[in-house]
Structure 1
Amino acid sequence: MKFDPDNSIKIPIKTLTVGMFVTAIEDSERVHLANAGRVSSKKAIQQLESSGIKFAWVDQSLSIEGSVFKPVGDELSDNIPRMVTTAKRKLSSRKVRQSTAAKIIRDAKELANKLLHDTFDDTALIVPDLERWAEDLISEALDDTDALHCVSALRNKDEYLLEHSVNVATLLVTFGKFLELPSDMLKEMAIGGIIHDVGKIKVDDKVLHKKGKLTLEEFEHMKLHQVYAEQIISEVAGISPISRDVCLMHHEKLDGKGYPNGLKGDEIPLHGRMSCIVDIYDALTADRCYKEGMSSADAFKVLLSLTPFHLDKDLVYKFINCVGIYPVGAIVELNDGKVGIVWTSNMSDSLKPEVKCFYSRKYKRFIDVKFIDLKDKRYRIEKAIAPCDLEIDARSFFDV
């Protein structure tokens, strides 16, 4: 069954009868989107009344034939929130935001693909294209970071290089926004993120896509991608120093044991340190041909283990606060066994986001999609789940 908010009308709870299809309920203060379905018994109605529910929204077309509806008069509802309008606007707005975010991600992949395969053959066009894309990314991130991350959470291991470049750029902008960096700097970091692995086009595919651990010789060859990157971008006019740093410093370490230049401490600027953190985090959480991606919680543990010698400890903590313990796009299990995708972040409490639930581990079956706001004290996140540890395929549920 599928209900349309436009078909719902508001009725007093005392006029609700068995067989009516309820889409939402309202107490004296707020509207609650219900787990839509038909009223099965008089006892269910009595429970709603005893819980202080004053009104119900019902879908006439899905209610049983013969149901008698007594809508609340307009004069009684002038000052009461209109769930139908609000819910429809919320869903419509969500779809528009995700559509915009998806276009930005698609454009980014096209640019990354061009960079990785055309090798800057037409440098006159590359930088302006990058700048236009970066401006779109920043505009969307300033407006709605959640939509970007929910879309970019959909990954394909066969497109790792493309998606990794896009995600690093997106995460850098999100992180920079959190640190209140100026928009011009965000733009330059985004460009640095999208080009940061361009040197890998010259790495031997057998090494780049090897499923097992690299030998010492193979690792030394892999490290050359930073040397290749410097050669490539040095021939491109218009790449800013910040973009260049992000590209060439994401494997440097505070103790000087990184590459390609063995920079130490303050020799690595803020944006360079940020790129180190973001690059490792996205690599850890991605599926690769040789490994399954970690949950965000496990990736955070790894990042913290690399402080303070390799990564900036203060920045790592800030990054965790920025992304959230359970970032948008993460798959989580709630205390009642429901499984869902973290859909909207909660800036005041990262442990209480909105979760789009679609599966029950308790009953081992799919359930009607339901958005649960974890500010509701009945629910809490039990744990994060790496996609590889989930027994079902969740990809289709990332769509609105």
Structure 2
Amino acid sequence: MINIEKVYTVDLEVGMYISSLDRPWLETPFFLQGFQIESSEDIRKLREFCQYVYVDYQKSAKGEKLAPRRTVSRPRRAPQELFGGRRLKAYEDKADWSEEFPRARAAVQDISEGIETVFENVSRGGALDVLRVRKAVEPMIDSISRNPDACIWLARIKQQDQYTYQHSLGASIWAVALGRQLGLPRSDLRSLAIGGVLFDVGKLRVDPELLRADRPLSDEEFQRVREHVQLGLEMIRETGLMNSDVLDMVAYHHERHNGSGYPEGLRGDDIPIFARIAAIVDCYDAITSHRSYARATSPAEAIKKLYEWRDVDFQAELVEEFIQAVGIYPAGSLVELSSGEVAVVVSEYRSRRLRPQVMVLLGEDKQPLASPRLIDLVTESQAGSGPNLAIVGSLEPEAYGIDMAGIQL
């Protein structure tokens, strides 16, 4: 029986086995597959980087559980209060999913090719072409403004090689989707798109062996990874870019709401608002992507984690708006239906998030269907006459051997 509990780092003791952290492993110098606390120095480091962790009591030398602490709730602030001085607007879908999908596919192809060209040039020692990035993101902004679901689908099924390139693509899409949800004007969506592409560009100047390491990083090595922030800022400033929102996303996307981030340990409203957005989309895309040292988390599980991290790592208002933007089951999520069939979420109804349109891929026996079928969970009946079909749970990416990138629409 699995026995894993959330424990705040102030309550840690030698002998406990740390199975996961309150943030991606890459943001810390710890061993990626988990480790047992062997000394007070381990506890000190955990307290330096994390507010809480998950302890596997089966693997721990100690068996007692500790009562979890409760976070204190607070009144929420409206988006207009967060973005004082900006005129927000309510976006409406201007196209249905089937109409938008081919345009979104072309838009994502444009931005993907643009990122690859720009990043490969930087990797060879060339200058960062910010104008190419700006041009590449425009069609994607158009598509998300009309209907975000198609781009969200494509962000989910992006190829998993060249993680830095694909992470930049995904982060840019998630950032614009959140900006749309918040009602930000077009100029701000553009800043979010460019910042999403560029906030990790400094990693192109970091030893790739450190970024892919599946061992504990020394303090010196971890500091070298952290230097990607300053490296990215230097690269962007050399281009003459003066957009303060983009620069904030690069400079502060590793800051955390509770002050535990880097490089300056800023907290709360001291973190620029666009950097707060960058932190959320950076984390979400990272934990839902396959990396050399970690398997992808399902979108639904990632949403649960973000919800737990409200007002710990990320501002609660922005987390809750992000969840509204992408939904509990975002487009591209693999789910199991009450019929026992397996489907992928295609698009959502903004007002009925739990009953999206899905494409059924596997039958009740979990074998591929000869012809996948598209159904609407708002109207589809189970077995033709029973109660409406429903989603009973999310599945891990690539469950039952499903290749998301190979799905033909």
Equivalent pair of 1:334/1:380 in contact (CA under 8 Å): yes
Q: Is the 8 A contact 2:254 2:261 kept in 1?
A: yes
- Give structure 2 stretches of 5+ with no counterpart: 1-94, 380-386
2:401 to 373, 391, 398: 391
Equivalent of residue 319 in structure 1, options 314, 317, 322: 322
Q: Does 2:395 correspond to 1:380?
A: no
Instruction: Give, as a single letter, the amino acid of the residue that structure 2 aligns with 1:384.
Output: S
What are the within-5 Å matches in structure 2 for residues 260-275 of structure 1?
260-275=263-278
CA separation of 1:115 and 1:395: change in aligned 2, threshold 3 A: closer
Q: What is the identity, as a one-letter code, of the residue corresponding to 1:164?
A: H
1:317–1:93 distance in 2 versus 1, CA, 3 Å: closer
- Deviations 1:58-110 (Å, cap 9, x if unpaired)? xxxxxxxxxxxxxxxxxxxxxxxxxxxxxxxxxx9866633322222222222
CA contact (8 A) 2:298 2:396 kept: yes
Q: Secondary structure at the match of 1:248?
A: helix
2:288 is matched with: 285
After superposition, the C-alpha distances for 1:115-154 in whole angstroms (9 at most, x for unaligned) are 323228356xx23322222322211111121111112221
Tell me the secondary structure at the aligned position of residue 199 of structure 1.
Answer: helix
Displacement after TM superposition at 1:379 (Å): 0.5
Once the two structures are superposed, what CA deviation does each residue of 1:153-203 show, in whole Å capped at 9, x if it has no partner? 213332211111011111111100000011101101110011111100111
- 1:153 aligns to what? 156
CA shift digits 1:337-390 (9 cap, x unpaired): 111111011111110110011112435343421111111252000111121433
Q: After the TM superposition, which of the residue ranges 220-229 and 299-308 deviates more from structure 2?
A: 299-308
| 1:342 match | 345
Q: Aligned partners of 2:178, 2:142: CA distance in 1, in Å?
A: 14
8 Å Cα contact 1:156-1:287 kept in structure 2: no
Amino acid at match of 1:331: L
Does 1:121 find its partner at 2:126?
yes
User: Is the counterpart of residue 353 in structure 1 residue 356 in structure 2?
Assistant: yes
Q: Is 2:228 the partner of 1:230?
A: no
Distance 1:216 1:385, change over 3 A: farther
- Letter of the 1:97 partner, please give it: E
Per-residue CA deviation, residues 187-236 of structure 1 (Å, 9 max, x unaligned), is 01110011111100111111112234544443222111111111111111
> Any conservation in 1 of the 2:115–2:133 contact (CA below 8 Å)?
no
Deviates more, 1:204-213 or 1:163-172: 204-213
Give the CA deviation at 1:292.
1.2
The reply to whether residue 297 of structure 1 matches residue 300 of structure 2 is: yes
Q: Where in structure 2 are the equivalents of 1:128-147 lying within 5 Å?
A: 128-147=131-150
- Pick the structure with greater CA Rg: 1
Secondary structure at the counterpart of residue 390 of structure 1: helix
Confirm or deny: 8 A CA contact 2:358 2:376 kept in the other structure: yes
Residue in 2 that maps onto 1:79: none
Q: 1:225 to 1:139 in 2, by over 3 A?
A: same
- Structure-1 residue corresponding to 2:262: 259
| Residues 394, 289 of structure 1: alpha-carbon distance in 2 compared, 3 angstrom cutoff | same
Aligned equivalents of 1:238, 1:231: Cα separation in 2: 11
3-state secondary structure, aligned to 2:362: strand
Deviations 1:12-41 (A, max 9, x none): xxxxxxxxxxxxxxxxxxxxxxxxxxxxxx
Partner Cα distance (2:365, 2:138) in 1: 45
Distance change in 2, residues 1:317/1:237 (3 Å): same
Pick aligned residue for 2:313 from 293, 302, 310: 310
Q: Which one of the candidate residues 99, 107, 112 is aligned to 2:110?
A: 107
Overall identity of the aligned pairs, in %: 30
Does structure 1 conserve the Cα–Cα contact (< 8 Å) formed by 2:259 and 2:268? yes
Q: Distance in 2 between matches of 1:153 and 1:363?
A: 22
Partners of 1:383 and 1:215 in 2: CA distance: 40
Is the contact between residue 171 and residue 196 of structure 2 (CA under 8 Å) also seen in structure 1?
Answer: yes
> For the residues of structure 1 that align with 2:143 and 2:99, how far apart are their CA atoms?
12
TM-score, length basis structure 2: 0.70
What CA distance in whole angstroms lies between the structure 2 residues aligned with 1:213 and 1:337?
Answer: 42
1:115–1:195 Cα contact (<8 Å) kept: no
Match of 1:368, SS state, is strand
Q: Per the alignment, in what secondary structure is the counterpart of residue 290 of structure 1?
A: coil
1:38 equivalent in structure 2: none
Instruction: Call closer, same or farther: CA 1:94–1:238 in 2, change over 3 Å.
Output: same
Q: Separation in 1 of the partners of 2:246 and 2:170?
A: 15
Structure with a larger share of its residues in helix = 1
**Matches of 2:283 and 2:262 in 1, distance apart?**
14
Q: Which residue of 1 aligns with 2:200?
A: 197
Which residue is 1:166 aligned to?
A: 169
Counterparts of 1:117 and 1:264 in 2: how far apart (Å)? 35
- Greater relative contact order, per chain length (Cα 8 Å cut-off, separation 6+): 2
1:293 touches 1:388 (CA, 8 Å); kept in 2? no
